[in-house]
């Protein structure tokens, strides 16, 4: 608007009155006087912004865009006031010329980058202050959107109530801001009968509620920009929301069309974050900031402050100098040589030598700067830094060394074998997967090595390192110049680093590097084997022959494995020579060599090696409860055993618990899983341990804890067989609902402080929005051909339907189970998934700390009073009349628990207070069709065997393999079997029927 036109309007219409919004949080600015941008006049901006804007317009020809929406406007004015003291306004602020009057006006707007950054900073500061206020304020009062609860407390607690009781997911409270306005907006949409996710409008509230429940629309749509202002992530970068940040291109992405020129899949570039070593000790971190904090706290060395006067290349030289001196056990400051690392660390700590030496000590002309290859000089940024780090251990660029001048002698090559290759390609880098390496002969890298694609290979020996150079053919372009991968190894054969000049060589794990590694493996095996002819250079790389065209009939398409397995049709008859019996010295020498190579079965029975093996077994048993038992304790009374248990001291480190969890990830397929569960109260038995009486404990419960057996119950087998299908359906569904949703297998978790408890979830889930949680999967056998909803028709079921919603109760074994799993793993939520062939449902359960505190104390008392005496002296199992004294019905159970479905690994969601469970969702069935059996009438009770009894979950059973068998499952004792046969078994009834036919 031109200034002449402005004069035609009244001043009130032009500038106001403009006031700021009535902020609920008194955190913007106080009612104080603020000085003008360009003069000493003061104004109360909060009360009359229009007067201030009119002043700078009339007097200084300045206009501030959207002034009333600037957070902390006094701070904004103060910034520009100080800024304009240094430079004139004409040089900083863009101007607009009015055509009518010819006057110029200076426009303070977000079009100016400096102004935009200032507005963003002030806005972000305001948002973070609001967030801090909402996080600490406990005076929030509001009625629930769905029930009649009048909530008083924190906003975070209100959101947790909506999530736990009504399954309304508005997001992580730590990422939310303006929570009250968010709740008002959600409430307004619900009052208008509008779905908050899909924006669909419905005729009445019950229909809307059913729609949001079935479609799982009780959450905010991430694509709905109307809610962006309520999430802090949208304020972090100037002009960018979370979607813009997420869609930013990778700076290492190849240009379009470049894939056809690549010898390697771009996945070779993917690698794990390398750990960074401390400059003075063995501490490692993945974050450089954490490492700097460690060096400042432990060694008194502030890297940032100490190197602020050094340029970029001086810092690199300093780091290389410090690492080199520490590797050679020399003090970087005084250059004193010490015996070992411990002595060096002690010297530097005592003398306070963890500081930068004189600049001329490390800032010397780098010999490699002038001796780098053309390839190395063309590398840019982080690639150049990484390349210099790798070759710094040699002091020379490998690409400046001619392969013809390298040694070809087998004795000079490093002893790099298959385990070293696996450690480098799999555990160090992530371009290959463990599944592929299990069949590594089918990998392109192995085939390249065995089929002659590695044309030349040589080695150059350096102090403490060996450099292997290679010449390898391209993967697709056979007539182009050979590629030149190189590998640096330690003297023991472990791979230090590698590089290749192909497109994917920066990833350090391309197939050309893999081919050279497999060639080293072949060289090592050829060096150890005695050759038949003894001819010099028996192992040599194949000659560089051109790939000439040929007819199909003349091309050998066999793989390397097939070639190695081919044998001549006619073989010469072997002549066996008499072999003298080896002497005892030769036998012991052989066993000693076998021990160094990894050991064999003979070491278990031949002394003195057998003693060492038994010692290793005893060390492993130190982590299990097997070590508690002593035969002398069998004569002691119960009270004496309890006193011994109170004096027992068990120490388990975090590392011990991690080792057990890794060893038991195969769960029931792993013997260690059974060993470490023995004697511990596991999550599946948590409730039974809380309900049994201390004075009359359940004998069957004691047996299940102290002497577990591998049961073959049909319902349990069904749950184990179909768990993978439930996992796949659940993962497929949740991937669409959560960002970066992942599931990983896990083993037996043990808390070092609660070493007598153990938990084995079916998996650990994680996503960007909800964090990390526990996964427990149940496949109900009684509804395998039905729907999850059918469980609500049974009065013994854990589910019930209230107002069209599925609800559960908190008094069942599986609620206790997931609570223990969360407590042991120290996670805050759990997904309990129920799956059948038609659909599946899941429930998100939050950790209940008060529930865990009350019940864990009961279970702890049960362990020390009952289980520990049994582990120490087998008190209960050695009682002759124990079964007569203590019957099997002493566990207190509710009527709903009288059903034995807990032994069948059924889906059970139980709780006293109502929790919501997601409605069954039709999921893709990945299960092959099986014979459908007609369940007998009754509340999920079925009779088996010729004795017509229920399955108690303990007595072993066997299934008849006949197609039309009416009984199907039999007790072993009823059919005269002591164990399950390895072959197919058919009952006598079906045998007689088939014979008559």
**CATH classification at residue 776:** 3.90.320
Q: 964 and 915, same structural domain?
A: no
Which residues, including other chains, have CB under 8 Å from residue 623's CB and lie 6 or more apart? Answer: 652, 656, 659, 660, 676
Selection from 518, 521, 503 nearest residue 443 by Cα:
518
Measured at the CA of 815, the angle between CA 810 and CA 818, to 5 degrees, comes to: 150
Specify the 3-state DSSP secondary structure of 839.
strand
Q: 156 and 62, same structural domain?
A: no
Give me the pLDDT at residue 428, please. Answer: 67
Q: 145 and 107, same structural domain?
A: no
Give the dihedral sign, CA 704/708/712/718: positive
The whole-number average pLDDT for the span 879-908 is 37
Selection from 963, 980, 962 nearest residue 971 by Cα:
980
Give me the pLDDT at residue 508, please. Answer: 79
Q: 294 and 239, same structural domain?
A: no
Residue 463 lies in a domain: yes
Q: Which of 528, 563, 590 is where one domain is finished?
A: 528
Give me the pLDDT at residue 273, please. Answer: 47
Give dist(CA 802, CA 783) in Å, integer: 21
Give me the pLDDT at residue 912, please. Answer: 34
71 by Cβ neighbours in 10 Å (0-12 / 13-18 / 19+) ranks as: buried
Q: Which of 528, 560, 579 is where one domain is finished?
A: 528
Own/partner pairs, 291-299, CB within 8 angstroms, 24+ separation: 295/354, 299/348, 299/349, 299/354
Specify the 3-state DSSP secondary structure of 622.
coil
Give me the pLDDT at residue 938, please. Answer: 38
Give dist(CA 590, CA 575) in Å, integer: 25
Average pLDDT, the chain: 75
Specify the 3-state DSSP secondary structure of 462.
strand
Scan for tokens 């905010």, then name that residue: 220
Task: Summarize pLDDT for 36-70 with one digit per residue, the tens.
Answer: 988 988 888 877 788 888 898 888 889 998 888 88
Task: Summarize pLDDT for 911-942 with one digit per residue, the tens.
Answer: 333 333 333 344 433 333 333 333 333 344 56
Task: Summarize pLDDT for 307-337 with one digit per residue, the tens.
Answer: 888 877 778 888 888 888 888 888 888 888 8
Beta partners for residue 829, in sequence order: 846
Q: 296 and 191, same structural domain?
A: no
pLDDT at 432 over 80: no
Give dist(CA 856, CA 820) in Å, integer: 8
Higher pLDDT, 654 or 246: 654
Question: Which two three-digit tokens encode residue 617?
Answer: 């077994």
The percent of residues in the chain predicted with pLDDT above 90, rounded, is: 8
Beta partners for residue 240, in sequence order: 237
Q: 812 and 732, same structural domain?
A: yes
The whole-number average pLDDT for the span 1-27 is 41
Q: Regarding beta strands 42-44 and 33-35, do their DSSP bridges make them parallel or antiparallel, or are they unpaired?
A: antiparallel
Is 951:944 a contact under the CB 8 Å cutoff? yes
Is 642:862 a contact under the CB 8 Å cutoff? no
Give dist(CA 21, CA 785) in Å, integer: 61
The whole-number average pLDDT for the span 197-202 is 89
Q: 312 and 196, same structural domain?
A: no
Higher pLDDT, 597 or 457: 457
Task: Summarize pLDDT for 797-837 with one digit per residue, the tens.
Answer: 666 676 766 666 678 788 889 999 999 999 999 998 888 88
Higher pLDDT, 218 or 575: 218
Element (H, E) at 496: strand 495-499
Higher pLDDT, 480 or 30: 480
Give me the pLDDT at residue 896, please. Answer: 33
Give dist(CA 866, CA 887) in Å, integer: 16
Residue 328 lies in a domain: yes
Residue 108 lies in a domain: yes
Give me the pLDDT at residue 562, please. Answer: 60
Task: Summarize pLDDT for 249-291 with one digit per residue, the tens.
Answer: 444 344 444 433 344 333 333 444 457 888 888 888 877 878 8
Residue 119 lies in a domain: no
Give me the pLDDT at residue 617, please. Answer: 54
Beta partners for residue 969, in sequence order: 959
Task: Summarize pLDDT for 119-147 with one digit per residue, the tens.
Answer: 888 888 888 889 889 888 889 999 898 88
- Reported confidence tier of residue 903, pLDDT bands at 50, 70, 90: very low
Strand ranges in 263-419 using DSSP code E only, listed in sequence order: 276-277, 284-285
Give the dihedral sign, CA 899/903/904/910: positive
Task: Summarize pLDDT for 628-681 with one digit per residue, the tens.
Answer: 777 778 878 888 888 888 888 788 888 888 888 998 888 878 777 888 888 889
Give dist(CA 483, CA 454) in Å, integer: 10
- Reported confidence tier of residue 905, pLDDT bands at 50, 70, 90: very low
Q: 485 and 358, same structural domain?
A: no
Which residues, including other chains, have CB under 8 Å from residue 399's CB and lie 6 or more apart? Answer: 373, 375, 376, 484, 486, 501
Higher pLDDT, 617 or 515: 515
Give the dihedral sign, CA 861/862/866/867: negative
The whole-number average pLDDT for the span 500-520 is 83
Q: 185 and 80, same structural domain?
A: no
Secondary structure letter of residue 260 according to DSSP: G
Residue 749 lies in a domain: yes
Q: 902 and 780, same structural domain?
A: yes
Give me the pLDDT at residue 806, please. Answer: 64
The whole-number average pLDDT for the span 939-966 is 73
The least confident of 563-572, 868-877, 987-996 is 563-572
Q: 955 and 814, same structural domain?
A: no
Question: Which of 8-22, 462-476, 710-724, 960-974 holds the top average pLDDT?
Answer: 462-476
Give dist(CA 873, CA 764) in Å, integer: 37
The terminus-to-terminus CA distance of the chain in angstroms comes to 103
Higher pLDDT, 505 or 997: 505
Residue 904 lies in a domain: yes
Is 707:907 a contact under the CB 8 Å cutoff? no
Q: 413 and 351, same structural domain?
A: no
Residue 283 lies in a domain: yes
Give me the pLDDT at residue 760, please. Answer: 92
The whole-number average pLDDT for the span 686-707 is 86
Residue 276 lies in a domain: yes
Q: Which domain holds residue 70?
A: 3-113
The structural domain count of the chain equals: 6
């Amino acid at each position: 608007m031109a200034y002449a036109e402005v004069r035609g309007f009244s001043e009130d219409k032009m500038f106001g009155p403009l006031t700021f919004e009535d902020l609920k949080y008194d955190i913007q600015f106080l009612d104080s006087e603020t000085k003008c941008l360009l003069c000493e006049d003061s104004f109360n901006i909060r009360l009359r912004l229009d007067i201030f804007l009119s002043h700078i317009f009339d007097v200084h020809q300045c206009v501030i865009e959207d002034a009333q929406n600037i957070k902390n406007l006094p701070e904004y004015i103060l910034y520009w006031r100080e800024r304009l003291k240094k430079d004139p306004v004409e040089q900083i602020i863009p101007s607009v010329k009015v055509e009518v009057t010819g006057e110029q006006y200076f426009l303070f707007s977000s079009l100016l980058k400096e102004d935009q950054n200032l507005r963003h900073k002030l806005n972000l500061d305001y948002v973070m202050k609001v967030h801090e206020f909402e996080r600490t304020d406990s005076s929030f009062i509001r009625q629930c959107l769905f029930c009649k609860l009048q909530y008083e407390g924190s906003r975070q607690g209100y959101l947790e109530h909506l999530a736990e009781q009504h399954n309304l997911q508005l997001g992580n409270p730590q990422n939310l801001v303006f929570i009250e306005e968010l709740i008002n907006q959600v409430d307004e949409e619900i009052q208008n009968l509008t779905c908050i996710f899909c924006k669909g409008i419905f005729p009445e509230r019950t229909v809307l509620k059913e729609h949001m429940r079935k479609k799982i629309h009780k959450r905010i749509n991430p694509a709905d920009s109307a809610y962006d202002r309520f999430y802090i992530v949208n304020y972090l970068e100037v002009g960018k929301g979370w979607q813009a940040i997420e869609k930013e291109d990778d700076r290492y992405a190849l240009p379009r069309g470049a894939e056809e020129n690549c010898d390697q899949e771009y996945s070779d570039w993917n690698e794990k974050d390398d750990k960074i070593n401390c400059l003075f000790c063995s501490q490692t971190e993945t974050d450089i900031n954490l490492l700097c904090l460690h060096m400042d706290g432990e060694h008194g060395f502030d890297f940032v402050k100490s190197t602020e006067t050094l340029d970029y290349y001086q810092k690199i030289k300093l780091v290389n100098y410090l690492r080199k001196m520490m590797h050679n056990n020399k003090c970087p400051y005084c250059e004193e040589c010490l015996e070992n690392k411990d002595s060096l660390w002690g010297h530097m700590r005592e003398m306070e030598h963890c500081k930068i030496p004189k600049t001329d000590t490390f800032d010397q002309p780098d010999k490699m700067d002038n001796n780098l290859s053309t390839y190395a000089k063309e590398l840019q940024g982080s690639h150049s830094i990484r390349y210099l780090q790798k070759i710094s251990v040699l002091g020379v660029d490998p690409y400046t060394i001619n392969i013809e001048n390298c040694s070809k002698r087998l004795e000079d090559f490093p002893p790099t074998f298959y385990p070293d290759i696996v450690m480098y390609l799999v555990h160090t880098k992530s371009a290959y997967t463990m599944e592929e390496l299990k069949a590594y002969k089918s990998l392109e890298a192995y085939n390249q090595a065995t089929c002659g694609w590695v044309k030349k290979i040589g080695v150059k020996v350096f102090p403490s390192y060996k450099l292997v150079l290679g010449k390898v053919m391209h993967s697709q372009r056979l007539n182009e110049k050979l590629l030149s991968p190189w590998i640096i190894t330690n003297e023991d054969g472990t791979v230090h680093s590698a590089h290749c000049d192909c497109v994917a060589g920066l990833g350090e794990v391309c197939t050309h590097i893999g081919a050279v590694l497999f060639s080293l493996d072949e060289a090592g095996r050829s060096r150890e084997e005695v050759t038949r002819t003894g001819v010099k250079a028996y192992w040599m790389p194949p000659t560089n022959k051109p790939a000439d065209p040929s007819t199909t009939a003349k091309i050998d398409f066999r793989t390397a494995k097939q070639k190695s397995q081919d044998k001549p049709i006619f073989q010469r008859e072997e002549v066996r020579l008499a072999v003298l019996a080896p002497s005892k010295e030769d036998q012991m020498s052989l066993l000693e060599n076998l021990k160094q190579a990894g050991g064999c079965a003979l070491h278990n029975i031949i002394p003195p090696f057998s003693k060492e093996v038994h010692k290793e077994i005893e060390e492993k048993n130190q982590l299990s409860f097997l070590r508690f038992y002593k035969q002398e304790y069998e004569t002691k009374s119960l009270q004496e055993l309890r006193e011994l248990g109170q004096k027992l001291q068990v120490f388990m480190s975090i590392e011990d618990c991690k080792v057990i969890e890794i060893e038991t990830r195969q769960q029931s397929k792993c013997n260690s899983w059974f060993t470490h569960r023995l004697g511990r109260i596991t999550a599946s038995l948590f409730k039974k341990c809380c309900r049994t009486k201390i004075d009359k404990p359940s004998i069957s419960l004691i047996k299940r804890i102290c002497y577990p057996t591998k049961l073959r119950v049909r319902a349990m087998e069904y749950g184990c067989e179909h768990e993978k299908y439930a996992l796949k359906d659940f993962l497929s569904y949740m991937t669409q609902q959560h960002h970066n949703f992942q599931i990983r297998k896990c083993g037996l978790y043990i808390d070092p402080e609660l070493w007598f408890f153990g938990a084995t979830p079916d998996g650990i889930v994680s996503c960007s929005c909800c964090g990390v949680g526990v996964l427990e999967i149940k496949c109900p056998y009684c509804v395998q051909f039905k729907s999850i909803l059918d469980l609500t028709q049974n009065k013994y079921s854990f589910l019930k339907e209230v107002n069209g919603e599925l609800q559960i109760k908190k008094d069942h074994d599986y609620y206790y189970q997931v609570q223990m799993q969360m407590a042991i793993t120290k996670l805050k939520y759990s997904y309990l998934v129920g799956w059948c062939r038609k659909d599946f449902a899941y429930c998100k359960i939050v950790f209940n700390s008060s529930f865990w505190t009350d019940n864990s104390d009961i279970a702890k008392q049960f362990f020390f009073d009952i289980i520990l005496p049994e582990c120490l002296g087998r008190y209960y199992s050695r009682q002759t009349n124990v079964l007569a004294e203590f019957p099997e019905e002493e566990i207190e159970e509710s009527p709903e628990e009288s059903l034995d479905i807990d032994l069948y690994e059924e889906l059970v969601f139980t709780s006293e207070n109502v929790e919501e469970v997601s409605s069954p969702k039709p999921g893709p069935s990945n299960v092959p069709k099986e014979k459908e059996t007609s369940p007998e009438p009754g509340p999920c009770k079925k009779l088996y065997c010729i004795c017509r009894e229920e399955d108690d979950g303990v007595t072993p059973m066997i299934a008849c393999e006949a197609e039309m068998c009416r009984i199907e499952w039999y007790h072993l004792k009823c059919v005269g079997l002591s164990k399950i046969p390895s072959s197919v078994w058919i009952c006598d009834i079906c045998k007689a029927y088939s014979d008559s036919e």
